Chain A
Amino acid sequence: MAEQKNFLITEEVINIQEVVDKVTDRNAGAINTFIGTVRELTKGKKTLYLKYDAYVPMAEKKLAQIGDEIQIDFPEAKVAITHRIGELGITDIAVVIAVSTPHRADAFTASRYAIERIKEIVPIWKKEHWEDGEEWIGDQLEKKPYPSGKPEKEDLQ
């Protein structure tokens, strides 16, 4: 039986349709999905596979917080996010975000917000495994490094 939680960390392959079904709504005119996949090349370096780890209860709580934040701006939005952990190969799906809203613009905005926010506050880590080594990847926002090495207070509200 499929998990019915809207904000979920799983070790299983993510079924995109199940995530979409959680936000299906008669008042929705749009469902936007974001699908995050495992990329082979990062800055020219070839990844063989990734391992994701998470602080599961806190990660699910923080995913739910992102849903709450979206509903402040878009009260009619429905949000579901599933993030996979464990070992993932190239092209595997790591995260699926689905947002439904009455009008499409809000669904696009909210979906983008959710993935950016995941990279700020959700305790999930990936370890890249290459032919010649492995490394836990830290902040990958690139455009927004944490000068103090951690999220600032305003990032965590």
Chain B
Amino acid sequence: MIKVLLFAELEEKAGQREVEISAEEMKISDIRIYLLNKFPQLTVINTAMPAINEEYAEDEVKAKAGDNVAFIPPVSGG
């Protein structure tokens, strides 16, 4: 199982902060597609930067069961 975290606008649009995907492994780009199918209103996910286990990652990278994947919208701290 892969845990996916959604923040800020993504969390609001999806109505939840966590999504669990039953898969042994999945490419980040496929996770985006999966989420867009599940939440068609989540188009802003295309401007979010993926992270795996708290490090920024590329779309081609595969997440594995047990990983925490996060989609990071443009940040606005400070």
- Residues of A near any B CB (own CB < 8 A): 36, 52-55, 57-59, 61, 83, 94-95, 115, 118-127, 136-140, 146, 149-151, 156
Contacts and interface: CB of A to CB of B under 8 A. Distances in A.
Could you tell me the dominant secondary structure of chain A's interface residues? mixed
Nearest to A56: B54
Q: Is the interface of B mostly helix, strand, loop or mixed?
A: mixed
Contacts of B49: 150-151, 156
B74 interface: yes
Contact of A122 (B11, B12, B75): B75
B8 interface: yes
B68 to A, nearest CB: 9
A124 B76 contact: yes
Contacts of A53: 7-8, 11
A58 B75 contact: no
Given A55-B72, A136-B73, A138-B73, A36 B78 contact: yes
Given A55-B70, A119-B78, A126-B76, 7 more contacts: A94-B78, A119-B75, A119-B76, A138-B74, A146-B74, A150-B47, A150-B48
